Amino acid sequence: MATVTQILQERLQNALQAVGIKSDEPLQLAPTMDPRHGDYQTNAAMVMGKKVKENPRTLASRIVANLSTKGIGPPPEVAGPGFINFRISPEFLAHRVHELALDKRLGVEPVAAPKTIVIDFSSPNIAKPMHVGHIRSTNLGDALARVARFLGHQVITDNHLGDWGTQFGKVIYGWKRLLNRATLDSDPMEELVRIYREADAAAEKDPEILGECRRELVKLQEGDIENRRIWQRCVDLSKAEFSKNYDLLGVRFDFQLGESFYNAELPGVVQELQDRGLAEASEGAIVVWDHELSDDPFIVRKSDGGFGYATTDVATIEYRYRQWHADAVWYVVGAPQNLHFQQLFSLTRRLGYDLDLQHIAFGSILGEDRKLMRTRSGESVPLRALLEEAVGRATAIVAEKNPELSERERSAIGRIVGIGAIKYADLSQHRMTDYVFSWDKMLSLQGNTAPYLQNAYVRSRSIFRKLDAAFVAPSSVELGEEPELALTKKILQFPDVVPAILDGFKPNILANYLYELAAQFHGFYESCPVLSAEPVKRETRLLLCDVFARLLQTGLDLLGIQVPDKM
C-alpha cells in the first residue's frame, strides 16, 4: 500500500503535468509541523515557479485548480508565498489506519529492488577493552542493519576485529616477560592491557626493548608457533570479553572476520595494484596516490615490508564482493578515519568495482564537562562498566517505583530500561552531533528518553489486560474527536519514516518520530476514555491503542531497544 505522502505526490505530479510543468525529481511534500498549515504541505510551486519564472502564488493556484484530492480530503489551499496545504479527511484517516492495523508490516512496504548490504561496525581492537567510544558504532550499525533488513534488503553484519595490528609485538613481549597468570584468569582484559602498557612504556625508554617487540611481531607474522599460540589466546580472551558487551546490548553479528583473516591475500593485493599501475614505490614503501584527496599517500606496503590496515581493507572489499556478492558496504566508523575511507573508496573505484561504498561517520560522546568522556583518572571509560552501571541504576529506579516486583522481575526490567536508555540517548541524536552523556537525562521518565517511550508502551498495553477476551480489530473505524485524529495522523507517517532512515543513515528521525507519536498517544489517552466509551468509539479507540503499541514496539525494535510489559 502506498503511503499518504506517495498518494499526495502522485496527485501533485498529475496536476503539474496538467499545467504543463515537467519536474524530473519528486518535489518535496511532507507533513506540516503546525496544524494551522494543514496536514501536509509542499513548496513545489515555489521551486518550480523559480525555474519557469512564474509568480509562485499564481502557479500554486493553477496547480490547485488541477489537483484532485477526491477521496482524501477537501481541495488544497494556497498559503503564504506559494505553499500548497493539504488536509486529510477523518474518513480517509479512518480507512487508512484500519488498513495499517490489519497489515503485519504496519504499512511499511519492502523495497522494490533489494540489495545485498554488508555492514561493517563495532570492530574493536583485540587486547584492548571496548570503551565508551564503541557505543556509537555498535548501536548505529545494529540499528541500520535492523532497518535495512526490515525493508527487505539482504544484510550481512561483519565485526571487522582489529586482530592483527603492530600492538601484538608489545603484547607478546609483555606476555613472555610480564604476565601475571592469576590476574589473567580473574580479569583477562585488564591483564592484557597492563602488559601492553608496560611493554609500551619500556619500549619507549629503551630502544633495545623496542627492538625485542619488533622481533616478536616479525616472528608472529612469519608463523612462529609459540607467538601464534599467544596471539590466539589474546584473540580468544578478547572475543569472550567483547561477547559479554554484545550480549548485554543484544547485538549479534553474522561474521566476525578479523583483519588476520585476510593475511594470506595481502601480497597478492599489492602485486595486483602494482601490475595495474595503481600503486608505486615511494621512499621504500608501496603507495597509492590520489592528490585530489590528499598529499598523504595510501600506504599498501610499509617500508619495513609489512602490510597494514589499508591493504587489509582492500582485500576485505574484494572478499565481500566475490564471496558475498555485496552490492553495498557500509562502514560505521568514527569521523577521524574519513581520509582513510575516501582513499579506500577512490582506489576501489579505480579497480573497477561496481559497489556502493559508504562511510557512516559519527561524532563523540562527551562528559558533563563537555570534553571527551573520560574516567576520573583520565582514561577512556570501559564499556562493560558503563553498561552494568546503566542496568544497576535502572534496576534501582524500577525497584523504587514498583516495590511489589520480585528481584528477578526488577533486574529483567532494569536491564531492558538501562540498556534502552543508553541506546536511545545515542540514537536519538543526529549521528554527527557530539552529545553529553548524562545518566539523569537518559534515565528520566520525562522527556525524549527510552524510559518515557517504554512507559508509554506499558500504558497502552495495560488496557488490554482489562478486557475479557483477546482484542480483535473491528471491521470498521470511525474517528471524530480531535485527539483521535491527531494520533491517527501521526500513526500514518510511520510508513514514510522507516525508509527515510536510510537516506543519510539517520535513526534519529525514527527516534524523534516515536517520541512525537508517544506524545500524541498521551494526549489521546488523557482526553478520550476507552473502555467506558459507547461500542463503536470503544472499538476504534482500542484499535488505536493496539496500533500505537505495535508501532512503538516495532519502532523501538528497529533501534535495537526492547520493551518491558511492566515497569
Residues that bind ligand ARG (CB under 6 A): 120, 123, 125, 160, 162, 313, 316, 331, 333
Rounded least distance, CB 356 to ligand ARG, Å: 16
Rounded least distance, CB 194 to ligand ARG, Å: 20
Handedness of CA 270, 272, 278, 282 (dihedral sign): positive
Rounded least distance, CB 352 to ligand ARG, Å: 20
CA 17/CA 4 separation, integer angstroms: 20
Rounded least distance, CB 466 to ligand ARG, Å: 50
Closest CB to ligand ARG among 11 and 320?
320
Rounded least distance, CB 331 to ligand ARG, Å: 6
- Distances from the Cα of 243 to the Cα of 251, 253, 483, angstroms: 9, 10, 45
Closest CB to ligand ARG among 160 and 423?
160
Rounded least distance, CB 258 to ligand ARG, Å: 9
User: Which parts of 380-511 are beta strand (E)?
Assistant: 435-436
- Residue 297: all three cell numbers together: 599517500
Closest CB to ligand ARG among 31 and 162?
162
Rounded least distance, CB 294 to ligand ARG, Å: 17
Rounded least distance, CB 359 to ligand ARG, Å: 9
Rounded least distance, CB 201 to ligand ARG, Å: 22
By the 10 Å C-beta count (0-12 exposed, 13-18 middle, 19+ buried), 122 is classed as buried
CA 172/CA 193 separation, integer angstroms: 12
Closest CB to ligand ARG among 246 and 331?
331
Closest CB to ligand ARG among 123 and 520?
123
Ordered DSSP codes for 282-335: ETTEEEE--TTT-SS-EEEE-TTS---HHHHHHHHHHHHHHHH--SEEEEE--G
Closest CB to ligand ARG among 120 and 216?
120
Stretch (H or E) spanning 386:
helix 383-401
- Residue 465's Cβ-side half-sphere holds a number of Cα atoms within 13 Å equal to 7
Residue 516 CB coordination number (10 Å) = 12
Closest CB to ligand ARG among 297 and 414?
297
CA 240/CA 258 separation, integer angstroms: 14
Report the chain's C-alpha Rg in angstroms: 28
Give the residue carrying C-alpha cell 619488533: 214
Closest CB to ligand ARG among 191 and 313?
313
- Distances from the Cα of 25 to the Cα of 13, 48, 84, 109, angstroms: 10, 11, 18, 21
Closest CB to ligand ARG among 92 and 164?
164
Rounded least distance, CB 217 to ligand ARG, Å: 17
CA 304/CA 281 separation, integer angstroms: 13
Closest CB to ligand ARG among 137 and 460?
137
Residue with smallest beta-carbon separation from ligand ARG = 162
Residue 358 three-state SS: strand
Rounded least distance, CB 316 to ligand ARG, Å: 6
Contacts within 8 Å (CB) and 24+ apart, 14-17: 14/66, 14/67, 14/68, 15/63, 15/64, 15/66, 15/67, 15/68, 16/44, 16/48, 16/63
Amino acid (1-letter code) at residue 292: E
Rounded least distance, CB 334 to ligand ARG, Å: 7
CA 23/CA 3 separation, integer angstroms: 21
Could you tell me which residues are beta bridge partners of residue 42? 29, 84
Stretch (H or E) spanning 86:
strand 83-86
CA 450/CA 421 separation, integer angstroms: 5
Closest CB to ligand ARG among 69 and 123?
123
By the 10 Å C-beta count (0-12 exposed, 13-18 middle, 19+ buried), 278 is classed as middle
Do residues 508 and 427 lie in contact, with contact meaning Cβ atoms separated by under 8 Å? Answer: yes
Closest CB to ligand ARG among 241 and 546?
241
